[in-house]
Structure 1
Amino acid sequence: MKTLLNVIWLIFSGVWMAIGYAVAGVICCILVVTIPFGIACFRIAVYALWPFGNRVVQRGDAGAASGIGNVIWLIFAGIWLTIGHFLAGVAFCVTIIGIPFGLAHFKLMPVSLMPLGREIVPTDAPTAYPGYRW
């Protein structure tokens, strides 16, 4: 089922969002100072292509630098991307068929708001559930 949802998502939202994030990643990688933001954009672009079956988790080794970077990201890009995902999610949720895709946009909001110090993992991976211990 997640493959079918990913294919439909790819057609209606995924390709356009992934292209946008990839272009932003290339622009960020032009300057040396913004390379971490570019890498985050590429990570979000891959997640925007196939959001079903994946989830975002907080990295345990993220330090103060990623916190400072997230504040900078939030001011310049994060709030606008999150508002865009929110509006697209509401628009998709207006129709019954679009509800899973609206929820996927809502799922993209936290990583687009503060991408540094986060990791995208498959939902069936043990690291997808941070409180779970083996």
Structure 2
Amino acid sequence: MRLILNVIWLVLSGFWLFLGYMLAAVIMFILIVTIPFGIASARIGLYSLWPFGKTIVDRPTAGVGAAIGNVLWVVLAGWWLALGHIVSALALAITIIGIPFAWANLKMVPVALLPLGKEIVDQR
């Protein structure tokens, strides 16, 4: 079932969201000082490409650095990535089949805004 959901997700919105995250990652890598943001963007981008079967949890060792980094991330790229999830969710919610995928997009908005201090793990 996860394979079917991931393939449908990939076709409907996952690929475009992945491209947005990778664009943000490349920009962050070019700016050198923001390489940790680029790593976080690439990690979340791979998650947005194939999300079913994985979940996001808080990293217990995250501290003040992650909190400060998240504030900078929201200013630099987080708001427009979250906007991409919201726009995709609105487009998917038009059809009955797309409603679960719209909900999955909305569940990804918090991690698009605040990716530092999060970890992607397999669901059991």
TM-score normalized with structure 2 length: 0.92
TM-score normalized with structure 1 length: 0.86
| Runs of 5+ unmatched residues, structure 2 | none
Matching residue of 1:67? 67
1:75 Cα offset (Å): 2.0
1:123 matches 2:113? no
C-alpha separation between the residues in 1 aligned to 2:19 and 2:90?
Answer: 22
Matching residue of 1:44? 44
1:2 and 1:53 in contact (8 A); partners too: yes
Matching residue of 2:15? 15
Runs (4+) off by over 6 Å: none
Larger Rg: 1
How many pairs are equivalent?
Answer: 124
75-84 or 45-54: which moved more?
A: 75-84
1:79 Cα offset (Å): 2.1
Identity %: 54
Q: 1:27 to 1:76 in 2, by over 3 A?
A: closer
> Deviations for 1:59-94, whole angstroms, at most 9, x for unmatched residues?
000111111010011122222222221232122122
1:52 and 1:104 in contact (8 A); partners too: no
1:89 and 1:106 in contact (8 A); partners too: yes
1:46 Cα offset (Å): 0.6
Aligned pairs for 1:53-64 (under 5 A) are 53-64=53-64
1:99 corresponds to which letter in structure 2?
I
Matching residue of 1:88? 88
